[in-house]
Amino acid sequence: MEIISSLDNLPGNPEAYVTIGTFDGFHLGHQKVIFRLVERAREDQVKSILITFAPHPREIVQNPSREPIRFINSLEERIQNLAVTGLDYIVIQPFNQYMANLEGEVFLERYIMKRIRVKGFVIGESHTFGKDRKCTAQRLKALGNQKYGFDVEIISRVSDGDFIINSTNIRHLIATGNMESAKKYMNKPFHMKGRVISGEKRGRTLSFPTLNILPSSPKKIIPKEGVYCVKVHIQRKTFKGMCNIGTRPTFEGNHLTIEVHVIDQELNNLYGRELDMEFFHYVREEMKFNSVDDLKKQLEKDKKYCKELKLED
């Protein structure tokens, strides 16, 4: 697989099957589209090309009625997810206001058709692109049939009962602490990379030393405040841990912190180190305790629970 910095840099005007989208979370719906894309390209002995955007179009096309988007994956994580799919090329197309104002057909002609001999598209049924998201999968299929001579295979959306598996709904699962369902629909746990920073060192006085974490990506979604059972990957080793996200109300905290206690391990001199946490289970809400002793008793219960919980990737 090759990563290309824009469509302008795609080598050799390849014949290919193409898909397009942001693919945040790389959930089961995304996987269905991409694996089918790779399959069709191999059957016809042409290239498979995925076109994505940076920055995310929602960062450029602002909607005053919506909160700023928070992502399941950083761009680096999206690429890591896609690297195992068998794609030939991932094209990271720079996105700006000029591009946001292009009609879908104009973008198709000016950017895709000039650089790729498109044999076909494989695209999810709910995907849209172009100005005001007016170019739908059905519109793309009509353009292929009537004007450009390429095939469009529309992949039906994936659902679990009434739950539609898409990035928006998975973000909601993470924001509400439903890590089991998020893991189920992404085929992997939600994870957060970060750097170990200095904290107030209050955990050591409780016999529960913690690593304070600054997320690597400020745009990444933060799970619901509370206590989680996690896996901690650091220095090429993996440990069980319990992570607290919140304001530490027992100590009258006033800003959000992310801290993890690595169970039955004493890890020293980690300031500045990068770690990766996988979130498996929401244990409880963050609580204000009447005393430090009450807090310590609850932490012991949390530790026992997380220690005994089986965490399966």
The per-residue pLDDT for range 201-240, each reduced to its tens digit, is 665 667 788 999 999 998 999 999 999 999 999 989 999 9
Torsion sign across C-alpha atoms 29, 30, 32, 33: positive
DSSP track, 235-254: TTEEEEEEEEEE--GGGT--
What are the pLDDT digits (tens) for 16-67? 999 999 999 999 999 999 999 999 999 999 999 999 999 988 888 877 666 7
CATH of span 2-164: 3.40.50.620
Given a contact cutoff of 8 angstroms between Cβ atoms, the answer to whether 286 and 247 are in contact is yes
Q: Enumerate the CATH 3.40.50.620 domain ranges in the chain, comma separated.
A: 2-164
pLDDT tens digits, 149-205: 999 999 999 999 999 999 999 999 999 999 999 999 999 999 999 999 987 666 566
Q: Give the C-alpha separation, 208 to 87, whole Å.
A: 45
Annotation: CATH topology of 189-308: Elongation Factor Tu (Ef-tu); domain 3 (2.40.30)
Helices assigned H by DSSP within 144-186? 167-175, 179-186
Q: Which residues in the chain are classed under CATH 2.40.30.30? A: 189-308
Q: How many Cα atoms occupy the beta-carbon half-sphere of 205 within 13 Å? A: 8
